[in-house]
């Protein structure tokens, strides 16, 4: 997901320094940072040793270096079974002016550390997830790939496992357990492009995951579990995708059977879902939301340098014109 931002910036002619952080070496990364610019932290939960270090050193971050700091909180923050999830986002929020987050419950955590929270949905990178097959050329079946276990955290996929056990032997259902390291992106795109139906099972990630949007963009009929919280604009269950109750494994099996018995009946749903997703839920659209909000921060925050404000204005304009 992070590399898709790099591609977006390159395509729009945006000048940037792409810094890859080495976990456990925050001092080395800190030396590469510049003042009076726009700094984007693309995944707070994988940068926690760096954000902790910067908070302790007090040389960089909100109000210290003239830069505008923007963070992206991509994982579940409140109520996660994984340790230190909330703490990691707090480190990011102490540094940043604005933190875009996918967990609707994270706003209070972010604002309590002085940053402005911006809830947004995940998205699809349409430069990568492009179908090559039309719906009628795809295999008449349903496909799912994902993790079935995460170390000792059995609770992370409790609902997923219950649903998987009920559907795994269904004729027409194909699946692959995710590997570590995972398959290359071309392999993953090819898998998604092969089947008429794509299943999304629950995980510890908040809201509608990137997998949901990727599946829609690939031109398949998407089977999506119910999600509490804000709903993606322009995407309705029963119109753009098939919805099921994640607490009812038998309901998923029945829905899957119904789809595979007459997949052609759902082709219009597929077309509507793909069109709505690619119009409103792409990386460029989401980036426009984030940088637009960042520009508004640059206007009201007097500790941001004129050069940093100019940069974020330029980027917001270029991204908006692209989305």
pLDDT on residue 152: 64
Residue 130 within any structural domain of the chain: no
Nearest to 18 by CA among 49, 50, 40: 40
Please report which confidence band the pLDDT of residue 282 belongs to, taking 50, 70 and 90 as the band edges: very high
Task: Indicate if the pLDDT at residue 153 is higher than 70.
Answer: no
Question: Are both 102 and 168 inside the same structural domain?
Answer: no
Could you read off the pLDDT of 22-54 as tens digits, one per residue?
999 999 999 999 999 999 999 888 999 999 999
List residues bridging with 139 in a β-sheet: 195
Question: Are both 156 and 111 inside the same structural domain?
Answer: no
Please report which confidence band the pLDDT of residue 181 belongs to, taking 50, 70 and 90 as the band edges: confident
Question: Are both 174 and 275 inside the same structural domain?
Answer: yes
CATH number of the domain to which 11 belongs: 3.40.50
pLDDT on residue 322: 59
Residue 228 within any structural domain of the chain: yes
Residue 309 within any structural domain of the chain: yes
Question: Are both 153 and 72 inside the same structural domain?
Answer: no
Residue 55 within any structural domain of the chain: yes
Give residues with Cβ within 8 angstroms of 180, minimum separation 6: none
Question: Are both 157 and 109 inside the same structural domain?
Answer: no
In this structure, what token pair is assigned to residue 111?
A: 């604002």
Task: Indicate if the pLDDT at residue 323 is higher than 60.
Answer: no
pLDDT on residue 32: 96
Domain count, the chain: 2
Question: Are both 269 and 301 inside the same structural domain?
Answer: no
Q: How far apart are CA 242 and CA 248, in angstroms?
A: 15
Give residues with Cβ within 8 angstroms of 126, minimum separation 6: 217, 278, 282, 283, 284
Contact 41, 14 (CB under 8 A): no
Question: Are both 267 and 159 inside the same structural domain?
Answer: yes
Could you read off the pLDDT of 266-277 as tens digits, one per residue?
999 999 999 999
| Mean of all residue pLDDT scores within the chain | 93
Question: Are both 23 and 75 inside the same structural domain?
Answer: yes
Question: Are both 295 and 240 inside the same structural domain?
Answer: no
CATH number of the domain to which 191 belongs: 3.40.50.2000
Residue 126 within any structural domain of the chain: no
pLDDT on residue 203: 87
Q: How far apart are CA 222 and CA 149, in angstroms?
A: 23
Q: Which domain holds residue 163?
A: 135-280
Q: Which of 149-163, 242-256, 283-297 comes out lowest in average pLDDT? A: 149-163
Considering only residues 229 and 142, tell me which one the structure prediction assigns the higher pLDDT.
142
Question: Are both 12 and 117 inside the same structural domain?
Answer: yes
Please report which confidence band the pLDDT of residue 183 belongs to, taking 50, 70 and 90 as the band edges: confident
pLDDT on residue 119: 97
Please report which confidence band the pLDDT of residue 188 belongs to, taking 50, 70 and 90 as the band edges: very high
pLDDT on residue 217: 98
Contact 226, 285 (CB under 8 A): no
Question: Are both 73 and 149 inside the same structural domain?
Answer: no
Question: Are both 113 and 191 inside the same structural domain?
Answer: no
Q: Which residue has the tokens 């000792």?
A: 152
Backbone angles phi, psi at 182, to 5 degrees: -75, 160
Residue 129 within any structural domain of the chain: no
Average pLDDT rounded to a whole number, residues 191-209: 94
Q: How far apart are CA 8 and CA 319, in angstroms?
A: 9
Residue 127 within any structural domain of the chain: no
pLDDT on residue 292: 93
- Percent of the chain beyond pLDDT 90? 83
């Amino acid at each position: 997901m992070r590399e898709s931002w790099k591609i977006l910036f390159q395509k729009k002619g945006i000048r940037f320094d792409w810094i890859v952080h080495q976990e456990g070496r925050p001092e080395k990364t800190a030396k590469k940072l510049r003042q009076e610019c726009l700094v984007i932290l693309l995944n707070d939960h994988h940068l926690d040793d760096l954000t902790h270090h910067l908070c302790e050193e007090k040389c960089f971050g909100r109000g210290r270096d003239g830069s505008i700091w923007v963070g992206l909180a991509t994982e579940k923050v409140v109520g996660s079974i994984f340790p230190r999830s909330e703490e990691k986002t707090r480190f990011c929020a102490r540094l940043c002016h604005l933190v875009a987050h996918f967990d609707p419950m994270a706003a209070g955590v972010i604002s309590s550390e002085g940053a402005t929270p911006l809830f947004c949905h995940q998205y699809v990178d349409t430069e990568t997830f492009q179908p090559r097959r039309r719906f009628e050329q795809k295999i008449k079946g349903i496909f799912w790939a994902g993790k079935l276990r995460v170390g000792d955290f059995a609770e992370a996929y409790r609902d997923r496992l219950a649903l998987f056990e009920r559907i795994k032997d269904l004729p027409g259902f194909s699946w692959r357990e995710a590997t570590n390291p995972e398959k290359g992106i071309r392999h993953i795109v090819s898998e998604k492009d092969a089947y008429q139906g794509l299943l999304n099972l629950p995980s510890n990630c908040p809201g509608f995951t990137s997998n949901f949007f990727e599946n829609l963009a690939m031109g398949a009929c998407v089977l999506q579990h119910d999600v509490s919280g804000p709903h993606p604009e322009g995407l309705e269950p029963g119109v753009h995708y098939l919805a099921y109750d994640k607490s009812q494994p038998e309901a998923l099996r029945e829905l899957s059977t119904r789809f595979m018995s007459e997949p052609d009946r759902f082709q219009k749903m597929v077309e509507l879902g793909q069109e709505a997703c690619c119009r409103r839920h792409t990386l460029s659209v989401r980036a426009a939301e984030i940088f637009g909000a960042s520009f508004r921060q640059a206007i009201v925050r007097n500790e941001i340098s004129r050069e940093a404000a100019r940069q974020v204005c330029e980027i917001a304009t270029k991204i908006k014109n692209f989305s």
